[in-house]
Amino acid sequence: MAEIVTEQQRPEEPERPRRERPELSGGSPHAPVRTNWTVFVGAALGILAVTGWALIAPDSASAALGAVVSWVAANLGWFYILTGTVVIVFILVVAFGRQGRTRLGPDHSRPQFPLFSWASMLFAAGIGVDLMFFSVLEPVTQYYAPPEGGGESAEAARQAVVWTLFHYGITGWAMYALMGLAFGYFAYRFHLPLSIRSALYPIIGKRIRGRTGDAVDIAAMLGTIFGVATSLGIGVVMINFGLGFLFGLPQGLAVQSALIGLSVLLAIVSAVSGVDKGIRRLSELNVLMAIGLMLYVLVFGRTEFLLNGVITNIGDYLSRFGGMTMDAMPFGHPEQWMSDWTLFFWAWWVAWSPFVGLFLARISRGRTIRQFVLGVLIVPFAFILLWISVFGNSALGRIHEQGDAGFGETIMGGQEEAFYTLLAQYPGATVAIAVATFTGLLFYVTSADSGALVMANFCSTIEDPQQDGPNWMRIFWALATGALTLAMLSIGGVSTLQSATIIFGLPFAIVLYLIMFGLWKALKVEGAQMDASQASWAGVRAGDRAATIEPGARTRSWRQRLSRSMSYPDQRDVAGYVDSTARPALDEVAEEMRSAGVDAVVERGSDPATHLPFVSLTERMEGEQDFIYQIYPVACPVPHYLLAPQKDHERYFRLEPFALTGSRGYDVYGYTKEQLIHDVLDNHERHLEFIRLSGGPPETGATAVIGSAPAVTDWSADFSETPEEELSEASAPSGNDAGLRSETSVTPETESESR
């Protein structure tokens, strides 16, 4: 007998087969992934044009990029600073608001990956080899040339690490969280394609399917590939130095070209193997090796000094964060410092946010908004804080405390040497540098393969959020990223990549505001659903409330009610109830609706494993979100207390009502036909109240078929291209991602919590 697993014991929600109607999911069952040629060709031509320009006229390209960056720093620095602050405030308000408990998926969904795997993937995707590069270089640079005050002082050393933490801190991760939340919310909650354009639907409506939506995706593609190329360029020059230290390889474009080719090959192998196999395993290995390096420096270094530094850095970061995040530095005209550091990092985070956000959404189905936001803000930054504090303070301690000026000069003289120069000071340096080089290579590959996967998704029309872009497109974008990285390195190295990131990140910074506005409007709709439910309960007279919670309260004796609450129906009981009571009740309601001119249909399906029936009533509302009431069997373990030995089976089945966003959370087994009809009407009235509270007429001008209440647009229908006549009446009304239970196996591994 298979083990009975309760909801509390189950860390992940298994995948289930999908059978959905297009009006719920945005496409036909098992719809294939289609290439969006407009986005693909537009982005590819843009990248190839810049790459060709850099290779053919490197001096012209370098000068033009430098001039544009200088203008942005002088005139639009305030915009980047403001954007970072607004994103932090917005994402925290959403997380701690009443919608924070809403799941990125149906209400019954649970996370696909355990916490460590999830944290490893989001960390490895969100931060690459650049963390190793800047964890030593930036603190030392800020120590010698701080934005304010004199350098080479105790105060400069103290604040140098804080500036590095600020640039790698929660501002950037808030941008990732915003994009990931928008992707996941609209894809898993409202069944729209997993793309940026979906987040703009509340603002521009059906135009997201046309040129406007394509333009947004192309802008995201350009920002993403330059952001990824910047990280890969940093990684290549750093790994080149490490291999030169270990094996005597020369430093230069020839070796870097070979490294790019090798890394792209590894990225292709990882990307085409998928999230579960390639990216997940590499990410976990990557994080474990990074932790090992950090512990190596902590143990063999000045441990007490480093631990004191960690505590001090945390306090300084928290106390200074408010002022730093809004500091546009209007006095002293430090445009060059702002361009080299804060503006570059903010543009870099912005450029990476579509890429990382989509990847985070891809791996975060089933988590609540609050869990998602806090996890993205806290989990990776906690590691970043420790990493930067340990490595940064190790370098500063050697320079400032021990007076090793030559060590500082070496770092300032060669950016790519900084991390390895520090490791060379410890016992077993050769082994440590070998591990660091391999870790850097893994960081490179996990960034490249994640980037190729996500860019392939951007250029595809994907109706199932669990699907990804085709393998050939992942290979193309891995190669394109490698070519762009090589071109940028050939005309000026890392600084040129930084300049390009600032430029191409600017258009998408504007898109972030549109995404926040669209997400806010969508969350208001979610709030309207909550208000509708509360209003319907408030409208029940106090004397009738017990009857609403338990419809038989006024018609059954207390012994009958007790008998029902202590019954544990088996498969035969449930099947008989659905056929004898549930199906006739829903048929009767649907017939009455149709007589009033409403498009209502009842559909029956069966679970392929247990053959248990389920039944659903759908009221199709033109231009609105459909009303759906589905009764589905949910397996539960029989409680192991006094009555359990009297049962001849270890599990029973609840018949739970499901709506578009998941289970209603109660059991209707044992209701009479009349009581079940009243339960349908209770839920129908809540749906009408939701329509009224959601406000705003639909884009088509359609009015509700059930009254004069303003309608809410059925967003998923705008992505449906399958004619209604192609649908099978026998198909299940919805799928797992639509919030309703699909025709899936009710196994012990998918059981919900016991009653």
- How far apart (Å, rounded) are the C-alpha atoms in residues 355 and 152? 38
For the entire predicted model, the pTM comes to 0.74
- In this structure, what are the phi and psi dihedrals at residue 121, rounded to the nearest 5 degrees? -70, -40
- How far apart (Å, rounded) are the C-alpha atoms in residues 355 and 365? 17
Q: Which residue has the higher pLDDT, 495 or 619?
A: 619
Residues 6 or more apart whose Cβ sits within 8 Å of residue 328: 77, 78, 81
Are 669 and 569 contacting, i.e. CB atoms less than 8 angstroms apart?
A: yes
Is the domain of 588 the same as that of 504? Answer: no
Element (H, E) at 60: helix 58-75
Asked if residue 558 is part of any domain, the answer here is no
Is the domain of 146 the same as that of 241? Answer: yes
Q: What is the pLDDT of residue 735?
A: 37
Asked if residue 640 is part of any domain, the answer here is yes
Asked if residue 147 is part of any domain, the answer here is yes
Q: Which band of pLDDT confidence, cut at 50, 70 and 90, is reported for residue 141?
A: very high
Q: What is the pLDDT of residue 4?
A: 29
Is the domain of 482 the same as that of 600? Answer: no
- How far apart (Å, rounded) are the C-alpha atoms in residues 11 and 4? 14
Distances (CA, A) of 747 to 6, 11, 196, 666: 11, 15, 36, 19
DSSP letters spanning 36-97: -HHHHHHHHHHHHHHHHHHHH-HHHHHHHHHHHHHHHHHHSHHHHHHHHHHHHHHHHHHHHS
Q: What is the pLDDT of residue 197?
A: 82
Residue length, the chain?
Answer: 755
Asked if residue 542 is part of any domain, the answer here is no
Is the domain of 315 the same as that of 209? Answer: yes
Q: List the beta bridge partners of residue 633.
A: 655
Q: What is the pLDDT of residue 694?
A: 52
Residue identified by tokens 């079940």 is: 676
- In this structure, what are the phi and psi dihedrals at residue 628, rounded to the nearest 5 degrees? -135, 130
> In this structure, what DSSP letter does residue 625 have?
P
Element (H, E) at 613: strand 613-620
Asked if residue 24 is part of any domain, the answer here is no
Overall number of domains in the chain: 2
Q: Which band of pLDDT confidence, cut at 50, 70 and 90, is reported for residue 246?
A: confident
Is the domain of 573 the same as that of 515? Answer: no
User: 220's torsion region: left (phi>0), alpha (psi -120 to 50) or beta?
Assistant: alpha
The first and second tokens of residue 109, run together, are: 């969904």
Q: What is the pLDDT of residue 636?
A: 80
Q: What is the pLDDT of residue 727?
A: 29
- When mean pLDDT is compared over 180-194, 269-283, 637-651, the highest value belongs to 180-194
Q: What is the pLDDT of residue 13?
A: 38
Mean pLDDT of 299-325: 94
CATH number assigned to the domain comprising residue 285: 1.20.1740
- In this structure, what are the phi and psi dihedrals at residue 58, rounded to the nearest 5 degrees? -60, -40
Is pLDDT of 559 > 70?
yes
Is pLDDT of 713 > 50?
no
Q: Which band of pLDDT confidence, cut at 50, 70 and 90, is reported for residue 279?
A: low
Is pLDDT of 556 > 60?
no
pLDDT, tens only, 643-693? 544 555 677 888 888 876 667 778 888 888 888 998 898 888 877 766 665
> Range with the lowest mean pLDDT among 78-92, 148-162, 322-336, 588-602?
322-336
Is the domain of 89 the same as that of 228? Answer: yes
Mean pLDDT of 561-570: 76
Exposure of 254 in the CB half-sphere (CA atoms within 13 A): 4
- How far apart (Å, rounded) are the C-alpha atoms in residues 645 and 635? 19
**What percent of the chain is predicted at pLDDT more than 90?**
23
Is the domain of 439 the same as that of 574? Answer: no
Q: Which band of pLDDT confidence, cut at 50, 70 and 90, is reported for residue 301?
A: very high
> Is residue 504 helix, strand or coil?
helix
Q: Which band of pLDDT confidence, cut at 50, 70 and 90, is reported for residue 69?
A: confident
Asked if residue 397 is part of any domain, the answer here is yes
Mean pLDDT of 281-308: 87
Is the domain of 496 the same as that of 591? Answer: no
Residue 478 sits in which domain range?
32-525
Is pLDDT of 247 > 50?
yes
| Among the listed residues 75, 450, 51, 47, the one whose alpha carbon sits nearest the alpha carbon of residue 223 | 47
- How far apart (Å, rounded) are the C-alpha atoms in residues 70 and 335? 8
CA-based diameter of the chain, in Å? 90
Is the domain of 366 the same as that of 505? Answer: yes
Q: What is the pLDDT of residue 31?
A: 58
Asked if residue 545 is part of any domain, the answer here is no
Of 502, 525, 548, the position where a domain reaches its end is 525
> Range with the lowest mean pLDDT among 99-103, 172-176, 662-666?
662-666
Mean pLDDT of 71-88: 90
Of 525, 552, 585, the position where a domain reaches its end is 525
Average pLDDT along the chain: 77
Is pLDDT of 25 > 70?
no
Is the domain of 518 the same as that of 579? Answer: no
Is the domain of 517 the same as that of 580? Answer: no
Q: What is the pLDDT of residue 113?
A: 81
Asked if residue 205 is part of any domain, the answer here is yes
Is the domain of 273 the same as that of 416? Answer: yes
- How far apart (Å, rounded) are the C-alpha atoms in residues 214 and 721? 18
Residue identified by tokens 């001119």 is: 597
